[in-house]
Structures are given as structure tokens and as C-alpha cells.
Structure 1
């Protein structure tokens, strides 16, 4: 983590009309995007929140998305307890966890015999949710060791390394599939090689005010960028309130402003290896969401808390340019990504289940969220948008549909990364 620099307090401002969601990712190697007009201002900041639920058919034969989310919430709570127990005890054989709400079960993968304490915990959890303990070929520790070895020997030929949640081995990606294969030929574990996968940062609602909400557009003061980044979630650290965003969007000491040049605050901390930053400011415990068919289309949802990320979970994104996008499913966790200038760790991969836009340029730093099953107008924080896969293009949707790049696959920095990057950090709830 870089050394903290002095911070500037964002000047107070009257509550005014806030503009809608939308975050746009910036992609490495792209030239400046064409200037875009700001969306029409949205509702007053004290307007009532609305439910956030995915559209379309509900997977797994559930009667409603709320029913699915209730099941998912129980699975995640159980997964969090297993994860905590593994950290607190000898989790040598632990391989991974998959939350499968469509199948109404939690899958825990373990190499060798399950310790008695873990077996007892699983038995306790089975009173509320179905839990299966399945055999794994390799433990998470073994896969982590091999990941670190490949990092040292790949010489930049790999763009990402992902431990398979079932403990079967690793999945690696590289722009050149043939070269990537040669770099993992001597791997001690089975490796699946994907070619052409190219994670790239996602840079770029428009006129927010204090207390600043997540999902709003921001940029570095004085920058000529036409596409900046998005705000994520309000947090506290060291007795100060701060706004979480993507680490690649700026450096400590720079000042963040909204697109109207109103000062948000100074960038106080950046952790490049987790792709996270903190902006010291008056941040509010709400995130923007939208429904383009509604009038007005935008509103703010209170933050209920923070939760873990597990393969199989359904999540939503809320970037300043793309707006609220649901039907996203977590595919993998604990991914290592190579950017050319940094090695990012602990990242999460999510994909749109219909291969439609999940995020695009300008959405970097924006919220990854999951509606609370007991009240879908409240959102659980999962992480912040970091990268899109430019080899998985999708037609841009949202507030700005031209002059930028979008994808149906994204990588985000989960809440566990924030806890690791900034000890003592806490989510602000509304």
C-alpha cells in the first residue's frame, strides 16, 4: 500500500438533483473516447429507494427472484462460516466453495479427510441449508503455491491465473494461447489454457453532491479525459469517512471531482495489487440504481452491509455509464491478473448469463451489489468493478451507448480485498 498523503475535505454543497447511474471502464491501449452529453438529471437525493431485481426468467424453477435471493443469502451465510472456520483452524485440505442457488445447495471441496471441527460445522449448517462435501484433487494452498511459481516463471505470457473452485487444478489465460501453453507445460497441477482473454482496466452519474453516493461519475481534477471512473461504496478508515473506488483511476494526492468540477475529495490511499483506492470525503451509505422504463429512472438504495463472493452467486453492477445490470453470475474467485505494470490478486470473475453488456468503459470503481432478499430496495456490497475482458465484447447499453467499449465478462475487486488492503476498514450502512 502506498503511503497516505494529506487529504482535502470536499466542500459542503446543498442537496440537489443527482444524475443517474452509469460507470464506464477505461481500456488500456484505447485512445480518448468521444465527448458525451451528460444524462438528464434524476430525482432529488431524498427520494424513496425502489427494489432492484433482475429481469427475465428466474433460474432453478424459483417462483421469483426474491425466492432465489433468499436461498442464495442462506448459502452465502453458510459459506462465510465455513470460510471463517478454515482461516481459524487447520484448513490444509480446503479447496474451495461453490454456492449453487439453482440447485439449492452449497458445495464444499476438500482434499483428504475433513477435520472433525469442519465436519461438525457442516452438520450444524445442514439444519438450515443443504451442504455437500466433495473430494478435491488439490487443496487451495497447493494451487496457491503453483500460482506463485507460474507468476515467477511465466515472464508476462499469462494474463490471469484462476484456481478452480473444485480443486481440480488451474485455469490460465494468455493473449497468445500457444505461448501460454509452453509456460505451463511443466506445471505440477492440471492446467486449462484459455487464449485471447485480455483483462483491461475500465475507466471513464454525472452531477452528484455530498454526501456522495456510489455509482456516480468522477474524474481526476484537471484531467482531459472524456471518460473517467465511478464511485463505489462509502467506508470508514482511521476515523474518517471515505469513498471506495478502483485503484487504477488515480494516485494519492490527486483530487477527485464530479463531471461538473465540484470537488469530491483527495485520493488518500491506493493499493495497486488489489486495484482499490480511498477518496477522503463526505460519503453517504447509498448507491445509485436505475430502471430506464421508469420515470424518473434513477434512485438511491441504502447499503445493507458487505458480503463475500462465491462461484455461482447472482450479482448486479451499477456503473455510471452502463447503469444497473443484473443477470450477472460469479464464475471464479481468487484470480491473479497481470496488467503489465502490476500483479493483481484476489480478483473475482463474473459474466452476464445472456452474454449482454455487464460493464464498459467508465464503470471502473462502480458497485458490484446483490439485493437483500428480505428487502430488495437495500443492497449488499460485494466489491468494485475493475476490469472488463476486451475479447468478450458486448453492445454497450445504459446512458452512453457509443464511443466506448463494453463486455459481457468483468473482473471485480471483492470486499475481502478491501479488508486485506486497508486493515480496519468498515462498510457504512444506511
Structure 2
């Protein structure tokens, strides 16, 4: 009998997958639940897996490693997509797959399985990561084999087999994804998503109307690009993210929406919220702006986009990601000091910044000697740049 371990969330897709693998394919199936900060009822999920027929149930608390080894690297790289996503879900998938493959090896499984839908981003991410980590393992995607095509079919299947699944209003939300770094959801149609957003149906953050009338001020300390303290108190990355999530959520920080271009080219309107990440990104960018030289900053901003796309495309376990990490580690050696930000009604404003490596020049602070140098240097620089334009102008026809 083939031994399979299933990445299990306890939701509709993975519960149907567990029953199908166990009772339709007659595999020996264990489940693996990765806690990356979903706020799920783990005991209920474990009971559900056992009631469906799981031969083994494994639960791992991965919150610390998720924040420290994945999210902090993304922070140092300023890995944010053009649609405003900070890639909370995409960052968790390589970690979950890594732990799933490791558990499969320990349990002597011949295959791993997941509940990702056909053509979905997560399906591709799981399978790419598994191929990089353990190419000898078979990857089973029940969505590609069973006859159920719609979510209504899956609910009918689970109802028929007595599997109780917590239900959201499926006429509105199709999928929701949440962890410590952020949450996102997508809907049946654009109009449904817009109506849901208008009703303040978010998972984490308070609405703008209900946010406090008075702003909150936060001082974040950084050491070589990593956040290390909050309001003068040393704090681990995990504790800081938890604290900033609570504080930022109360002030409606990190809400947003955008059109996501999926890996296969489809487009979907997604809403996301990431209070802690939004605050940390704002503080980190401010520190970089003050401490990183112009030429390094120019390349860094370009490679940030590459890093974000790499994560989105599921290429975490690649030589390119390791090379980019090495680049960004080098850029962070002067990103040390503190920045103070004010959060209020969904907005983040920089208040103060301090760093022993700051390259900021105070307006009017230059000496007379410096001013004379600037005048001469600027004049000479302008002449060099303008020389090429003069040559081009000579061969052009007059335009006046």
C-alpha cells in the first residue's frame, strides 16, 4: 500500500483530498499541518483529519522559522510586488513544502500530496519546490484526477461522506489565505470583491471609520537591515511581528487591493492586509534611503522586483535566490539605527530617523568651502553632460 503524506489545512479542498486519497485510492495517508500563524483551531483540524481516516496526524509550529528565515529575508530585499502584495502566502509555501518533504522522508512515504487547484499558484509552487528538494518523490494533486470540478461539487462530496467543513459565503469569497505576515482573499467576480470590501469584510484590520482618532508613534531599531527593537526594547522578529500586527491592525494599516497576474497568466482581483509587514517595510525603506549610496540603491530597487517575482513564481530553492540574498546581505551593512513612524487611519508617516551611517545632508548645513566645491563640481559636471547634447544638436535641423 502506497504511503502518502498530505499537506493539510483542514479546509474544504484538503479534507476532500484526504478522504479521496484514503477511500477512493486506498492509500495509507498521513496529514501534515504547518502552523505559520493562521489562527486556526488546531485541535479541531486534528480531530477532523482523524475522523476522515488519517493514518497519522503531524502538526508543526513553524512561526519562528517562517518569520526569521523567510519573511526577514524578504524584508531586507524589499520584496513587494507591483500590486502591493508582500507575498505572505507565497513565502510560506516553500517552508511548508520543505517540512512536508522532510516528514515524508522520516515516515518512509513514496509520495506527497496537496490540495492546490489546477493552474493555481499554490499548485505550481508546491510542485516546483518538491522537485527542487526531492525529485524522486511523487507529487499527487487530487484536483487533477478526481471528477469534482466546482466548489459546489466538493461541498456535495464532503456532505455525502459526512465531513463537516466550516463554510464561508462561497458566493462571495473563493479562497482566503492568512499567516503572520499577512492575509489575502479573492472572490467570484470583481463586483463581489468590491461589495465585500465595502462591507469591511477583512480578516485582520479595523476599518478606517473605527480606527482610533489619535495616531500612534512607533520607534523601530534596526541592525544591519534587521528589526531588533521596538520603542527601545529588544525584541525577537516573531514577537515584533505579533506586536505590530496588533497595533497596526487597530489603525487600519496594511489594507490594499490589486490585480494579480497569476503564474499561468490569468488575472484576479485580490484584497490583502498586512499591518506588521507594512510598518516594517516603511521603516526599512526609510533606513535604506538614508544609509545606502545612490548607485547601490539604484541596483537594489531593481533587484527587489526580481526577488519579489522569484518568490511569487515559486523559485525559492534556486541558485538565483541564494545569489540575491548574498547581494542584499551586503547592502544592509550600514542599515543600522532607528526610525520613528506615526500610524493613523491607514497611513504611515516618517517622523524621525537616526543612524551613525546616515548620508543625509541637512539643508543649509554645508560650509562655505563645501559650497564653493559644489559650485565648481556642478559646473564641470554639467559641461561634461551637456557636451554630448551639443554634438547631437549640431547635426539636427533647427526646431525654432
- The structure number with the bigger radius of gyration is 2
Q: Which structure features the higher share of helix residues? A: 2
Q: State TM-score, norm by structure 2.
A: 0.21
Q: State TM-score, norm by structure 1.
A: 0.20
Higher relative contact order (CA 8 A, sep 6+): 1
